[in-house]
Structure 1
Amino acid sequence: MKRILVAAGLLAFAVAGASAEPATAPNTPSSFTLDNGMQVVVVPDHRAPVVTHMVWYKVGAADEAPGKSGIAHLFEHVMFKQTKNIGPEEFTSIVQRSGGQLNAFTSWDYTAYFERVHKDQLGKMMELEAERMVNLIINDDPKGPFIAERDVVKEERRQRIENNPGALLQEMVLNEFWKGHPYEITVIGLMDEVAALSPQDGLDFYKEYYSPENAILVVAGDVTEEDVRVLAEEHYGPIEPTGQAHSARKWQPVAPLAETKLITHSDPKVRQPVWSRYYLGTSFKRDPETALALEVGLEVLGGGMTSRLYQSLVEQQKLAINIATFAWTTLHDEGPAVIYGTPVSGVSLEDLDAAVMAEIEKILADGFTEAEVVRARNKLAATAIYQQDSQSSMANHYGANLALGFTLEEIAAYPDEVRQVTPEQALAAVRAVFGADKNYITSHLLPAEGDL
């Protein structure tokens, strides 16, 4: 469980890290559950008198009803506006006046809200989050919280996707890649469906999902479990569960691609063409052993300037400006494994495609060396461990993975487990994904015809 790609719109948030400390380490996380069903996780970090307070709701874009795309992300916006006891825009100003930072994000799998403050303000942050868990104002006032933020999200979609050629092409590809799956529509939603969302839709969503038994509280920082328990019982404990939150999510296995396709998009804003190929990968939740091996194999294949593809296509053949591979392994359901690159001037996307796939075929036939696999897995493990140096990264890491259904023990195991991946396992995983019998989606991002 190394990277979690999330979105407040499309894709926007990366989380990494897992504890490699022994069970007696001072920053070992602990967990307890309030009587109302809210899980509480404490990650001690006593280096500074600071805490990161996060509330994770087990609902995301994948849980939206048909025709209601974008409601999870829109609701994230509305949560900052007004409650029964907090006036318009006051939530943000209260946190900032205390010297804190705050934000939120939505993915297909979850929605999270966080504040980073001095530890003396932790109780106030819980008070604020508990207030908007139960007393959010949603009405049909054209200038009120819901309708005003609906217009904000529509503009966000225009700026982040519709005016961004790369994001627009990626949306087209992922719509095809996840056709018929709950991930099919991007997190920010379709413009016409977002525009049609009503305050009643918002109220229904609120009642259905924003309840303590559907939430996880993560507190990382200069606190003890007892500190957090006292405050959590005071502020969150009195909240009655609605009983409407779904215990069963809409997750389902992703079907293999039925055919190979090419999707192109051209735009005057594009200055350099980009070639990409999307194959069906896996996820840590669906197949943890294969996901580990795939991450190691992709690191060898295209994980930086020392990777096989970069050395061959950029340094030696000089056909590309860049070339890389990655996989969305940290969604709940299977995501794509991607190869992408930008050709040098005078090299067509078709020629780059042929050269890349010829090189991959050769690599997969010859296999990986022990040395390069050791280097790849050590890099992945070290990156995970270094993330422990960031309090907010630890809070994000634990919260995201807990929302996906992992245990604290499973989350902490990543560095040790990735170091055990063998060259044979890494090669087998990459061969299984990029095999000649596998369908894929190729995308071409091109300058407008007159700019070619």
Structure 2
Amino acid sequence: MKRILTGGLVALSVFASSAVAEESTWSPSVFSLDNGMEVVVVPDHRAPVVTHMVWYKVGAVDEAEGKSGIAHLFEHVMFKETDDLAPGEFDDIVSRNGGVSNAFTSWDYTAYFERVAKQHLGTMMALEAERMTDLIINDDPNGPFISERDVVKEERRQRIDNNPGVILQEMVLSELWKGHPYEITVIGKMDEVAALTPEDGMSFYEEYYSPENAILVVAGDVTPDEVRALAEEHYGAIEPTGTAHGERKWAPVPPLSETKELVYSDPKVRQPSWSRYYSGTSETRDRDLSYALDVGLEVLGGGMTSRLYQSLVEGQQLAINANTFAWTTLHDEGPAVIMASPAPGVSLEDLEAAVMAEVEKVLAEGFTDAEVERARNKLAAQAIYARDSQSNMANTFGSTLALGGSIDDVLNYPDAMRAITTEQAIAAVREVFGADRHYIEAHLLPAEGEF
């Protein structure tokens, strides 16, 4: 797992002293409103702006059977119309105040955010409170629910059905998570999305969109007292529905019980790729294993200094890229992946043999202390540098708490990375990629005759 999205190597000797100072002054505050809404305040006084986020503890994992896609569809509907806001007025108000807004849906949560100048924070809270309580859902064919249902169908056509790599990944994850609520992609099955009714939408809204099921995160040029006063004013008067029961559909993901190969070819593919998906872990299910795996995968395939890149791209010149990564920030276990793309003239069979020869060498011989030290320091440094981004701070706290984690999990992450030993890192990689572990191998190919 890469906790933040910045890339490149870190000059640790330059950064060390400032990082320690930043760690010591980074002090989030947490409190709850009487209606059960949790509030996190992350002061950042470098600029007079704030990031305001509302996280709902509901995602695709919670959808009823046959109702896939409703969590994501509902994200769209939330931007449409309320008792006091005309269609499109929400976005217009944010824009007129010089801000930006958006939202996203995961298997585990749904989040809405605005980034504005500090003086407009109260307005953003008023907008979010309005759509938490007074959203309009009706059976008008041109109304907010039915029109957005059609938008989601078009979104799938553009973002998934038109992307061969995403199609193949969806096929793989469906096998990896077979029988688990994660099995169905967040956007949903299109026949089920098309059958969703306004009544389904209202039931979903009433069950999950309630203050006791929400986390408010405000990062920026504010104090806890300022946020508390505004939150009490705008959110505190909202009565909890009592239907947000908190009974999530999370469950352990069993390890793969057999090895499979999936092949997908398409005329749009110009660069073939090879990958293997193994059963992995998650921070929530096994934090120690997850952190050790993060470090081990950084050594094995985390960048241009990694074992796989140096051997396959720089040394043997059999690949144009080679990397490893793991989905460890879901609540339940995600995949750990080895991936490579062949150099011109190299077959996927030869690429696979070379990749796995390097992996098997690592499993047999282990890592050096120097490799692990460099990897764990890089991950720790990236997490600390991420604190320079207000949006990263809001996202990291919100997602961690929505998954049942704590503020301390975030604050302690850099130290936890630095504490990973060489033995722990290689043991994690051996546990996940060992010869006795099943996997799903995926080949992405051009149409026959085009490669």
TM-score category, normalised to shorter length: over 0.9
TM-score (norm 1): 0.95
Pairs within 5 Å for 1:182-261: 182-261=181-260
The alpha-carbon deviation at position 22 of structure 1 amounts to 7.8
The alpha-carbon deviation at position 354 of structure 1 amounts to 1.2
2:351 aligned partner: 352
Q: Does 2:292 correspond to 1:293?
A: yes
The alpha-carbon deviation at position 450 of structure 1 amounts to 2.8
**Distance (whole Å) between structure 2 residues aligned to residue 392 and residue 102 of structure 1:** 12
2:334 aligned partner: 335
Aligned length: 439
**Distance (whole Å) between structure 2 residues aligned to residue 407 and residue 416 of structure 1:** 15
Pairs within 5 Å for 1:406-425: 406-425=405-424
**Distance (whole Å) between structure 2 residues aligned to residue 47 and residue 424 of structure 1:** 41
The alpha-carbon deviation at position 350 of structure 1 amounts to 1.4
**Distance (whole Å) between structure 2 residues aligned to residue 276 and residue 169 of structure 1:** 11
The DSSP-based 3-state class of the residue aligned with 1:231 is helix
The DSSP-based 3-state class of the residue aligned with 1:228 is helix
Pairs within 5 Å for 1:331-410: 331-410=330-409
The alpha-carbon deviation at position 26 of structure 1 amounts to 4.0
TM-score (norm 2): 0.95
Describe the superposition over 1:326-379 as per-residue Cα deviations: whole angstroms up to 9, x where unpaired. Answer: 000111010000000100122111111111111100111111001010000000
**Distance (whole Å) between structure 1 residues aligned to residue 23 and residue 222 of structure 2:** 17
Paired residues of 1:20 and 1:412 also in contact (CA < 8 A): no
Q: Does 2:61 correspond to 1:67?
A: no
**Distance (whole Å) between structure 2 residues aligned to residue 93 and residue 372 of structure 1:** 51
Paired residues of 1:26 and 1:44 also in contact (CA < 8 A): no
2:10 aligned partner: none
The alpha-carbon deviation at position 122 of structure 1 amounts to 0.4
Partner AA of 1:42 in structure 2: V
**Distance (whole Å) between structure 2 residues aligned to residue 20 and residue 417 of structure 1:** 15
The DSSP-based 3-state class of the residue aligned with 1:451 is coil
Paired residues of 2:4 and 2:382 also in contact (CA < 8 A): no
The alpha-carbon deviation at position 4 of structure 1 amounts to 8.0
Partner AA of 1:207 in structure 2: E
Paired residues of 1:76 and 1:104 also in contact (CA < 8 A): yes
1:15 aligned partner: none
Paired residues of 1:3 and 1:329 also in contact (CA < 8 A): no
Structure 1 unaligned regions, length at least 5: 6-18
Partner AA of 2:101 in structure 1: L
**Distance (whole Å) between structure 1 residues aligned to residue 53 and residue 135 of structure 2:** 18
Partner AA of 2:245 in structure 1: H
1:275 aligned partner: 274
**Distance (whole Å) between structure 1 residues aligned to residue 363 and residue 320 of structure 2:** 23
1:3 aligned partner: 3
Partner AA of 1:55 in structure 2: V
Q: Aligned-pair RMSD on alpha carbons?
A: 1.5
Q: Sequence identity of aligned pairs in percent?
A: 74
1:428 aligned partner: 427
Describe the superposition over 1:170-217 as per-residue Cα deviations: whole angstroms up to 9, x where unpaired. Answer: 000000100011100111111111111111110010001000000000
1:16 aligned partner: none
2:13 aligned partner: none
Structure 1 segments, 4+ long, off by >2 Å, are 1-5, 19-27
The alpha-carbon deviation at position 272 of structure 1 amounts to 1.1
The DSSP-based 3-state class of the residue aligned with 1:183 is helix
1:112 aligned partner: 111
Pairs within 5 Å for 1:83-102: 83-102=82-101
Paired residues of 1:21 and 1:28 also in contact (CA < 8 A): no
**Distance (whole Å) between structure 2 residues aligned to residue 192 and residue 351 of structure 1:** 40
**Distance (whole Å) between structure 2 residues aligned to residue 265 and residue 23 of structure 1:** 47
Pairs within 5 Å for 1:433-444: 433-444=432-443
